[in-house]
Amino acid sequence: MAKPEAGLKRAHFKDVRLPVLLLLPQLAILLFFFFIPSFRALGQAFFLSDPFGNTVHFVGLDNFAQLLQSDTYHESVKATVVFTILQNLLTIAVALVLAFASDRVIRGRGIYKAIILLPYAIAPVIAGILWAFLFNPAVGPLAHVLHAIGFAWDPNRVGSDAMILVILAASWKHVCYDYIFLLAGLLAVPSSLLEAAAVDGAGPLKRFFSIGLPLLMPTMFFLAVMNFVYGFFEIFAIVDAVTQGGPAGATNVLVFKVYVDGFINLDLGSSAAQSVILMIFALFMTLLQFRYVERRVSYDV
């Protein structure tokens, strides 16, 4: 253990009882809402069972084997990967532009920030319904605009249109999260560096790309991981409101499929197996973040 850091932490908590006490409520919540359900899901994944639990057959790894052979599961994985990558790129790009712009503006900066942060306060379902309505081919005003310029927009029938819609809705909802981090990152760029560059004749864009952006890289890594987690786990409400996973499974991302198979189809074994796979992925992402990303983030700018 590196001495100075450890020493600092120990100085605050000499007695072990207080930190344990402070941690207990959080641990209790984790125990009841995460660990116990997780272990039950892990168990369920090896059984074929009647939803009421009166008939249960042990099937070993059958549920997993079936998933790996299933075309719909493969498509769901593909949809999830496409969705998370595009959503990630779009969210970070837009957040970066907005952060750069609002870092530049002087007058009304607070108002801009408030407006940009607004979507975060809106419930995902409401956001989803809003987007579904705006782009509804029958009545949506934005769909009419698209039709008017000769674009045959129809997310009810065309899978890629539905995917675009979900990506837009999800990114719109998540941009503010990335924006806050990027803006904070930009504000933390030492002004001495920027001033020196300005004296050397670098314009705002040049300064941004050669000084701001490199210093933001750790933040962007962190955000990329967070966006992946968002895309994999928290997208359920938006998909439910915008496309219900359709058409023909085009937007049936993994977390939505877990819900449909478990709570609508009542296929608990398969649903549990899917959650286990998702859980393993979450573990992997967390490890990745701690191992590679966290190390490069320097907190003392």
DSSP annotation of 245 reads T
How many other C-beta atoms are found inside a 10 Å radius of the C-beta of residue 171?
24
Q: Kindly indicate which of the ranges 84-92, 185-193, 262-270, 288-296 contains the residues binding another protein, using the contact rule CB under 8 A.
A: 262-270
The least distance separating another protein from the CB of residue 120, rounded to whole angstroms, comes to 21
Which one among 140, 185, 212, 231 touches another protein, defined by CB under 8 A?
A: 140
Nearer to another protein, 74 or 157 (CB): 157
3-state secondary structure of 106: coil
Q: Does 293 bind another protein (CB under 8 A)?
A: no
Tokens for 49, please give them.
């069972």
Q: Does 159 bind another protein (CB under 8 A)?
A: yes
Q: Kindly indicate which of the ranges 112-120, 218-226, 263-271, 290-298 contains the residues binding another protein, using the contact rule CB under 8 A.
A: 263-271
d(CA 252, CA 273): 17
How many other C-beta atoms are found inside a 10 Å radius of the C-beta of residue 132?
20
Interactions with another protein, residue window 213-242 (CB under 8 A): 241-242
57 forms beta bridges with 48
Q: Does 260 bind another protein (CB under 8 A)?
A: yes
Q: Does 119 bind another protein (CB under 8 A)?
A: no
Q: Does 148 bind another protein (CB under 8 A)?
A: no
3-state secondary structure of 165: helix
261 forms beta bridges with none
Q: Does 246 bind another protein (CB under 8 A)?
A: yes
d(CA 168, CA 80): 15
Burial 198-226 (b: 16+ CB within 10 A, else e): eeeebeeeebbeebbbebbebbbbbbbbb
187 HSE (CA, 13 A, CB side)? 10
Q: Does 42 bind another protein (CB under 8 A)?
A: no
Q: Does 124 bind another protein (CB under 8 A)?
A: no
Of 75, 89, 92, which Cα lies nearest the Cα of 256? Answer: 75
Sequence length of the chain is 301
Under a CB-based contact definition with an 8 Å cutoff, are residues 159 and 248 in contact?
yes
The least distance separating another protein from the CB of residue 275, rounded to whole angstroms, comes to 16
Tokens for 88, please give them.
């990630």
How many other C-beta atoms are found inside a 10 Å radius of the C-beta of residue 119?
19
Q: Does 267 bind another protein (CB under 8 A)?
A: yes
DSSP annotation of 14 reads -
Q: Kindly indicate which of the ranges 110-118, 180-188, 257-265, 289-297 contains the residues binding another protein, using the contact rule CB under 8 A.
A: 257-265
Number of residues that bind another protein (CB under 8 A): 39
Nearer to another protein, 154 or 234 (CB): 154
Nearer to another protein, 84 or 136 (CB): 136
Q: Does 69 bind another protein (CB under 8 A)?
A: no
Q: Does 251 bind another protein (CB under 8 A)?
A: no
The least distance separating another protein from the CB of residue 75, rounded to whole angstroms, comes to 10
Q: Kindly indicate which of the ranges 22-30, 99-107, 133-141, 278-286 contains the residues binding another protein, using the contact rule CB under 8 A.
A: 133-141
Under a CB-based contact definition with an 8 Å cutoff, are residues 125 and 169 in contact?
no
Q: Does 144 bind another protein (CB under 8 A)?
A: no
Which one among 18, 72, 74, 206 touches another protein, defined by CB under 8 A?
A: 72
Which chain residues interact with another protein by CB under 8 A?
48-55, 57, 72, 129, 131-133, 136-140, 155-159, 241-244, 246-250, 260, 263-267
